[in-house]
Amino acid sequence: MCGIAGLIYADPQRSPEPALLKRMTDVIAHRGPDDEGWYIDGPAGLGSRRLSIVGLGDGHMPLCTEDESLWVVYNGEIYNHPELRRHLEARGYRYRTGADTESILHAYREYGDAFVERLRGMFAIALWDRNQRKLILARDRLGIKPLYVQRDGAALRFGSEIKSILCDPEVPREIDLDGLNFFMAYLAAPPPYTLFKGIHKLQPGEMLIWRGGEVSTRVYWTPEITFAPRQERTGEMVDELRERLRGAVRDHLMADVPLGAFLSGGVDSSVLVALMHGEIGPGFKTFSIGFEGHSLFDETEHARAVAQQYQTDHYERRLKPADLLTALDDITWQLDEPLADSSCLPVYFVSQLAAEHVKVVLSGDGGDEILAGYRKYQGEYFRRYVSWMPGAMQSVLANAAMRLPESRSGGVMDLLRQVKKFFRGFSPDPFQRHLQWAIHFEDALRAQTLHPAVRKQIDLSAVTQHRRRLFDALPPGDDLNRMLWVDLRQNLPDDMLTKVDRMSMLHSLESRVPFLDHELVEFAFRLPGSVKLRGKTTKWILKKAFADRLPASILHRRKHGFDVPVGEWFKHELRDVIEDVCSDETVRRRGLFEPAAIKRLAGDHFAGRRDYNNQLWILLSLERWQRQFLDAPPGSVSPRSV
């Protein structure tokens, strides 16, 4: 696990300054505190910071072939490195290190640009081919590892984090209004957008090739060439899922350093702990986070039960509102661009806790997206019953639901909030249902809150069109799997994986996600939606596969996720923070929003008329980001506040 950065100039006579490359890697030293390195060849420069996990003594980067014609830096792990190495050695390639990095070089020489299709793992790669004067950038299929690119007429710059790119004073800083549009709708801007104008993300499964100043891209992992429905009996599907997940966990345990696991007390992380126990026995370390005074959000009791069952060395920490204030600037600094997911807070602290004991953790991210774990998918079950009602009765229920208060102060209030959310997204069109259950600032609310001058420059419908293209990527016939595919391609890499990567790497901790082994994902999308959501039971097939390994209290309890009670904190302990962000002075200074509309939004949340915790977190994240990044002069990155 590492951080990478670099650039290549359009002018072949211009070479990167070593001092610039060093700044670009120093700013991401948290991603790799164990080693650093640089390489410059004419107009191209590669830089790396290394967190040593596999091949501890001989994995220095940039790494080159024996003839020094190929050079590579990369961030990630190649889990099929052992078998790939055996295959390449049988074809005559000679290895000089034990690091999986070397397999990337030999695979490129053997397979050309198709080398990424031979890799199974998480990765962001920059490979320089000296003979062809060609730079290749590639991102793993699921977007587990990040890779950012900035290109103008003078150069192409890249990095694991945007901070590296911002170290170059030639890179301007301006907010991207299209990125803002997506961010408000979905909590994060999807590829290729970021909140920085001119800085883009590579898509998951995308390769970029630079040669002679010309850039081409291709996506090498797509559903139409990957997924086909399965016809086996249910029992066979259950057995195969169990074996595939066991194999994925076994592969993800590849390391020369101690490993542990995030343990939330939910099904996914509990299954991983059970499988880890089967592979390495008891005594490995697990880590959990809870919240003082908010039982609705606290899962430490359930995590503790699993830890006791599998005899792990368990650690936990409980958070309170003041912890948000102590960590908010550090979280903002690490994210580089706004990410309005309040669960960054527990991931930040659980990563900090884990990093005190291990260098690698396994995480359950991805299980919800491939096997239908979120509560919103249960809406498909309840929709069938409501659809049988006469239209007049549906209208009466919907109107009554819209008058319900919104709060997450307790279990009953949260249930009422979910009912209201259900009717808000109720539609006979499966895409519209999915969209309404996923969007935060819906089109009308964005139109009301954005400043008229900003609104004129934004296509509000772009956020719907983007999601529609993803929804249509899978053929009609299985609406649930189409919804899951959209979440896999957008919510997961843009939000869930981003927060886990940034928060864990900020603490020099590698997080691995066995549920996102791409072969397991391909298998999961060949399963019909009916074995994922059965009745109102989410992740039915996973629970069936591990019913003998987990207690019923874990398998059948209500899903929490890594939720944070910020909605209640914003009404009470952190109200002054939100009032500052939503004040006329702050809003007018930025010029992005209508002050009166923002004031109404905050007032509705404080009064409990609607739960706007996500929208307020969007505004808070955006303002904090502007203070740290847009207000800074070109070429400078503020030091960490912690």
**520: confidence class by pLDDT, cuts 50, 70, 90:** very high
- Taking 70 as the threshold, does the pLDDT of residue 384 lie above it? no
Average pLDDT for residues 321-349, to the nearest whole number?
90
Give this prediction's pTM: 0.93
- Taking 70 as the threshold, does the pLDDT of residue 225 lie above it? no
- Taking 70 as the threshold, does the pLDDT of residue 257 lie above it? yes
Write the CB contacts of 574 (distance below 8 Å, at least 6 apart in sequence). 321, 324, 325, 566
| Residue in the block written with tokens 């408000």 | 184
| Residue in the block written with tokens 């939503």 | 582
Residues 470-480 have pLDDT tens digits of 999 888 888 89
The superfamily (CATH) of domain 2-221 is Aminohydrolase, N-terminal nucleophile (Ntn) domain (3.60.20.10)
Beta-strand pair 63-64/70-78: antiparallel
Q: How far apart are CA 375 and CA 142, in angstroms?
A: 22
Q: Which of 170-179, 385-394, 573-582, 628-637 has the highest mean predicted lDDT (pLDDT)?
A: 170-179
- Taking 90 as the threshold, does the pLDDT of residue 229 lie above it? no
- Taking 90 as the threshold, does the pLDDT of residue 274 lie above it? yes
pLDDT at 376: 82
Q: How far apart are CA 78 and CA 48, in angstroms?
A: 17
Q: How far apart are CA 591 and CA 602, in angstroms?
A: 18
Write the CB contacts of 214 (distance below 8 Å, at least 6 apart in sequence). none
* Signed CA dihedral, 530, 535, 536, 537: sign only: negative
Write the CB contacts of 123 (distance below 8 Å, at least 6 apart in sequence). 74, 75, 76, 77, 78, 104, 138, 139, 140, 145
Query: Which tokens go with 459?
Result: 């296509």
**485: confidence class by pLDDT, cuts 50, 70, 90:** very high
Q: How far apart are CA 596 and CA 363, in angstroms?
A: 42
- Amino acid (1-letter code) at residue 451: H
Domain boundaries, the chain: 2-221, 226-321+349-372+489-555
Please choose, from the candidates 5, 636, 619, the residue with its C-alpha nearest in 3D space to the C-alpha of residue 333: 636
Average pLDDT for residues 381-389, to the nearest whole number?
66
Query: Which tokens go with 66?
Result: 């024996």
**416: confidence class by pLDDT, cuts 50, 70, 90:** low
Longest Cα–Cα distance of the chain, Å, equals 76
| Range scoring the smallest mean pLDDT among 193-207, 215-229, 312-326 | 215-229
Q: Check residues 611 and 402 and name the one with the higher pLDDT.
A: 611
Q: How far apart are CA 37 and CA 22, in angstroms?
A: 9
SS (H, E, C) 615-632: HHHHHHHHHHHHHHHHCC
**418: confidence class by pLDDT, cuts 50, 70, 90:** low
- For residues 63 and 99, the answer to whether their CB atoms sit within 8 Å is yes
Query: Which tokens go with 312?
Result: 């792990």
| Range scoring the smallest mean pLDDT among 69-83, 385-399, 601-615 | 385-399
Q: Which of 197-206, 323-332, 366-375 has the highest mean predicted lDDT (pLDDT)?
A: 197-206
- Taking 60 as the threshold, does the pLDDT of residue 561 lie above it? no
**406: confidence class by pLDDT, cuts 50, 70, 90:** low
Percent of the chain at pLDDT above 90? 70
- Taking 70 as the threshold, does the pLDDT of residue 33 lie above it? yes
| Residue in the block written with tokens 């109200």 | 575
pLDDT at 402: 62
- Taking 60 as the threshold, does the pLDDT of residue 296 lie above it? no
Q: How far apart are CA 434 and CA 487, in angstroms?
A: 10
- Taking 80 as the threshold, does the pLDDT of residue 167 lie above it? yes
**34: confidence class by pLDDT, cuts 50, 70, 90:** confident
Q: How far apart are CA 270 and CA 276, in angstroms?
A: 10
pLDDT at 456: 96
**293: confidence class by pLDDT, cuts 50, 70, 90:** low
| Residue in the block written with tokens 């060849």 | 41
Task: Using DSSP, state whether 227 is helix, strand or coil.
Answer: coil
pLDDT at 453: 96
The CATH code of domain 226-321+349-372+489-555 reads 3.40.50.620
- Taking 80 as the threshold, does the pLDDT of residue 398 lie above it? no
* Signed CA dihedral, 354, 359, 361, 365: sign only: positive
- In Å, how far from its chain's centre is CA 535? 29
